[in-house]
Amino acid sequence: MQDQKIIPLKESPISFKTDRISGSDITHIFSWLKKTEIKIIENKNKIFIRKKIDGIWYETLFENSHHFFKKMMLTRKKTAFSTFSRAFEPKESDWKFIKTYSNMIYVMTTNKCNAQCKVCFAQDTLKPEEMNMDDIKYIISKAGKNKKIMFFGLEPTVRNDLPEMIKLVKDSGNIPTLFTNGLKLADSEYTKRLKTAGLKEVFLSFNGFQHTYQKLESENSYNLKTKALQNLKNNKLFTFLAFVLMDNINENEIEKMIPFLITNNDFIKGLFLVPLSPFGRLEIPQKRYFTYSDIIKKIVESKNTTCKEGYFFEFEKLKINLHKFLIKFRKNISTGSQIITVPFKIEDKLIKEVIDLKTLKKINSALENGNIWNLLKYTYFTMDFLRFFLNSTKFYYKNLDKNLIYISLYQITTDLNYLPFWTHSIGIIKQKDNMNQNKFIFNCI
């Protein structure tokens, strides 16, 4: 690798320059990457992804802690799709996979937006075509049933036919979900209309409180989002807050966010933490980029939580172990990919581990050793685990989630930092090919 010319991607301020390419190649930890043009480099206790794209090698920061990467990511297995590419035109086998195993399908319905958020990456990195109703019907027909189908954008609420799209999903036996900036949801009648059409869940972009929005966007934007939250609460719509974490801007608002989640747990069911993407409008230097381990540290250090860092590792291992067990029956549990999702319970005005770490390790040991009797014993005495298990295997709307809250960590993926892990989630967009023909493209989440 010494003679390779490593060129930083122009749009990526975290890509290494050619004078800083030394490091240990640890790609061998994933045997299935050996014959690819993907390299995993350990440099000064950090992990970088080195890729060859169009004949040029690029290197991008992936994780600030090599210990975290080795412990967490080694649980991953290779993708089940027909290619190691992040974005690709699906084969019939890929459609069949999502019909059989996927539990979340993201559908980019529009290339329009009603905002100019400084933290947005989508407007600058995605160039989708507008989907029509026939496109939506086709995707639904290929998806099967009991999937969460999330409409996202740029901003799906700019579409006048969004209620009809939601109804299509509901009538197909799937679960309509929406990712939105929330500006239009400040209109109570509009929110009610979406709920009547069949909307079940909303992921709302919410990057902090008043002080943050005064710096990033406007106080009016914050006011509209708080009205949207009230309307979601009034309509009993399960809500997840998508929080873009930015160094020296809103990183300290995690401390405020956790008690906000606890207070509003009757309708807010999760927090989706996303580091500011280096591929969007607001550029950041490498030293200010958050990775998974940095976010976990902030959660663990919060005075409003009692969880340990090891809880994240063990719960990810649990999901992998459950996946291995359930896949025999063509059932699934959300796992893999570059999203880490861990459940917590709310107790005594604190966020606590759903299963204490000691018991969690015993459950994993029982699964790994095939000791079903021990598994049943621990499950019986750990009702919070039983609720999580049922909640994660498509019994979601049976009031099993009371006092449960989910924290997800997600790193925006591009061709540069994507690793081809197994995933149950897929994004679908429509793009024109070189012949100006519209094609569906799968984007691995």
Encode pLDDT of 221-279 as tens digits: 999 999 999 999 999 999 999 999 888 888 889 999 999 999 999 999 999 998 886 66
As a dihedral over the C-alpha atoms of residue 225, residue 306, residue 409, residue 172, rounded to 10 degrees, the angle is -70
Q: State residue 370's pLDDT score.
A: 80
What's phi and psi for 84, nearest 5 deg? Answer: -90, 0
Tens of pLDDT along 62-77? 999 999 998 888 778 8
Q: Judge whether residue 78 has pLDDT over 70.
A: yes
Residue among 287, 337, 228 at smallest CA distance from 46? 287
Q: What is the β-pairing status of strands 24-25 and 46-53?
A: unpaired
Average pLDDT over every residue of 162-185: 96
pLDDT of 12 higher than 60: no
Closest CA to 327 of 422, 443, 400: 422
Segment 179-196 shows an average pLDDT of: 97
> Is the separation of the CB atoms in 189 and 167 below 8 Å?
no
Helix axes 372-381, 383-392, angle to 10 degrees: 110
Among 139-153, 330-344, 381-395, 422-436, the range scoring the smallest mean pLDDT is 381-395
Choice between 374 and 389, residue whose per-residue pLDDT is larger: 374
Average pLDDT value for residue range 406-426: 85
pLDDT score, position 3: 36
Residue 300 — very low, low, confident or very high, per pLDDT cuts 50/70/90? Answer: very high
Domain-by-domain residue ranges, the chain?
303-339+349-402
Q: What whole-number distance in Å separates Cα of residue 178 and Cα of residue 193?
A: 13
Confidence of residue 417 (pLDDT cuts 50, 70, 90): confident
Confidence class for position 36, pLDDT limits 50, 70, 90: confident
State which amino acid sits at residue 415.
D
Dihedral sign computed on CA atoms, order 365, 103, 175, 152: positive
**Residue 221: closest CA among 118, 124, 126, 123:** 118
| pLDDT band, residue 319 (cuts 50/70/90) | confident
Q: Which residue has better confidence, 57 or 305?
A: 305
Range with lowest mean pLDDT among 149-163, 292-306, 313-327? 313-327
Rounded mean pLDDT, 322-330 = 68
- Residue 327 pLDDT > 80: no
Q: Residue 287: which pLDDT band, with cuts at 50, 70 and 90?
A: low
Distance, CA of 25 to CA of 48 (rounded, Å): 10
Nearest to 206 by CA among 187, 188, 182: 182
Q: What is the mean pLDDT of the chain?
A: 84
pLDDT at residue 5 greater than cutoff 80: no
Give per-residue pLDDT as tens, 378-388.
665 566 666 66
Sheet holding 56-63, edge to edge: 24-25, 38-43, 46-53, 56-63
What is the arithmetic mean of pLDDT over 150-173?
95
